[in-house]
Chain A
């Protein structure tokens, strides 16, 4: 029996994991204070080229013609990349977990759907030469009516933003234009309530503004592989996304990252890697694609805007008996991660409170704004802002101290949550008690003695009778599922630099039935 001699490394770890309350140094701190932490842009590669992207100045326009003739002849230009050069020029990030339809091109072909959308990528010897060539690209736009408001986008006759979703809403389970939550009967709750309060809340998009902008450097490596230095927050997710978009096995790539100059959710979208790698494939040279600050703001996804309507029924004694929520998430022109944010939001309703009747409708809506993405608690943050504003207003309405009002309505262990899971390990009451103490906010003795562990369950564990609504008609398979079959890995060669774009690939065959999953590991189809 062979055994690793742990005693050799004994002093490297003491197996005592009691870290709480002890200061621990970050392992990367020395690198940070000496400036030796290596971010993606700190790699200087021999013969590196620079990629810059021509972006749409319009929020919504048809692309009649893209003329790159003059730009191709501009000094220092190595390659101009257009949508037709991207092997799979349509993707949605969460297709890796089979969620949503491919709806976003790497480079726009027929239409642009938001200001800042990429149209043409220029690879040149220097950033300056890339910009000079960019000024020579002629694009003939036919501006289209645009829609910037989530509720406007849902009105009949609104401009269709993204043809993949002609109703301007993400489609859940092939049928539903929104996510629903039904628990008990809110209308009965409102009828019984002493007060009903209905309010509208709104949150703007928020830019993460990381100090380092998004970017990546891709370089040909040995054996037909590519090494990619990237600012991504999601290394393997980005790697798989690139494998899908560029239609090569995922083991083509060696992604190097982890040292990120601030992300906060704004570096999960694989914004730069596919084009940087494609540039490296087409030129055989290292290619650097770094966003400028303006691009980061205009094209880098923000936290999405949300509009939220809350209607609550509350009793004079402070119990909330019904909560009805209608919310619209502004996904921008493409899905990215907003579809998932909606699911997360609905799971969070009605906030950390036990309310017997809850009704939620949350929509993921497409508008001609910059596509939104993840940011620190997205899907929950704005909703919580609205809910907690509402809680203060309700407390005021019934004349109860706002801290006490929250404790009164807080969920407790054993309660039934609106999505029909029993609440466990709840601690809102204790949180509010500690917050009140720290803020020297007086609480009554009786309220101070309340606990999340006590008085939960029982009638609070019941699911109140919930009226059944008619189900929507299941549309005849409207959703196309894409199969990501590829040629066997052995035939894949790094593309040599070519002066002409490769012929467009035939469209992916449409599958016969069932869900198909892309496997980045085996490059095969799994059911």
Chain B
């Protein structure tokens, strides 16, 4: 099978790899780079567990051909912390009990980050809209929405 050379920024670091034709970004991240934070939930765009940011925009890595991120910047939950310091969203998720099994959490956090990056003080409705592509079967969403709102207002307080 022909392999394609691929170079992109992964959480601020340059990576270069060869991928088989048809390999999606989720598999490339998990199996070739070893970043296990994006999760497989459905492989067909239904659950959002595989959500990542590409050039700051939210994407489903399971529906993204790996080749298409050539030269672009990919962010995953693995890059959310600032060294040992948790991101305000991570702290808020902890405090608001916004994860139970934790399987949707990486995708949720990336969806929430995409929102706060473009809209630092979203309304409740905007938070709901922003995470509407991410399924959580455990929490019932309420604590997640509260966490995103708490992180947003916390961010404002610090700013």
Residues of chain A having any CB pair with chain B under 8 Å: 25-26, 28-35, 37-39, 41-42, 44, 128, 208-213, 259-264, 290, 292-293
Contacts and interface: CB of A to CB of B under 8 A. Distances in A.
Given A34-B86, A293-B42, A212 B93 contact: no
Contact of A37 (B80, B93, B102): B102
Interface of B: 22, 30-31, 34, 36-37, 39-44, 46-47, 49, 76-78, 80-81, 86, 90, 93-94, 97, 99-106, 109, 135-138
B104 A211 contact: yes
B39 A30 contact: no
Q: Looking at chain A's contact residues, is the secondary structure mostly helix, strand, loop, or mixed?
A: loop
A32 B41 contact: no
A41 B44 CA distance: 18
B137 A44 contact: no
Chain B contact residues, majority secondary structure = loop
30 contacts: A25-B94, A26-B97, A26-B100, A28-B102, A29-B94, A32-B93, A33-B99, A35-B36, A35-B105, A38-B36, A41-B40, A42-B36, A44-B36, A128-B22, A210-B103, A211-B47, A212-B49, A212-B101, A212-B103, A260-B101, A261-B39, A262-B100, A262-B101, A262-B103, A262-B138, A264-B137, A292-B43, A293-B42, A293-B43, A293-B46
A262 B137 contact: yes
Contacts of A37: 102
A209 B138 CA distance: 10
Given A33-B86, A209-B137, A211-B49, 8 more contacts: A28-B102, A33-B109, A44-B36, A211-B101, A212-B40, A261-B101, A293-B43, A293-B46
A211 B137 contact: yes
A37 B99 CA distance: 12
Contacts of A263: 101
Nearest to A263: B101
A211 B86 contact: no
Nearest to B138: A262
B4 to A, nearest CB: 15
Nearest to A126: B20
A420 to B, nearest CB: 39
A262 B136 CA distance: 9
A258 to B, nearest CB: 11
A210 B137 contact: yes
Nearest to A28: B102
B90 A33 contact: yes
Contacts of A128: 22
A34 B90 contact: yes
Contacts of B102: 28, 31-33, 37, 259, 261
B39 A39 contact: yes
B128 to A, nearest CB: 18
Contacts of A28: 102
A211 B103 contact: yes
A499 B72 CA distance: 46
A263 B86 CA distance: 28
B95 to A, nearest CB: 9
B137 to A, nearest CB: 5
A212 B41 contact: yes
A259 B86 CA distance: 22
Contact of B78 (A35, A39, A212, A264): A35
A37 B78 CA distance: 12
B40 A290 contact: yes
Nearest to A296: B42
A495 B22 CA distance: 36
Contacts of B46: 293
A293 B44 contact: yes
A293 to B, nearest CB: 4
Contacts of A32: 93, 99, 102, 105
A260 B41 CA distance: 13
A245 to B, nearest CB: 26
Contacts of A290: 40
A261 B102 CA distance: 7
B15 to A, nearest CB: 16
B65 to A, nearest CB: 14
Contacts of A208: 137
Nearest to A212: B103
3 closest Cβ pairs, A-B complex:
A32-B102, A261-B103, A35-B37
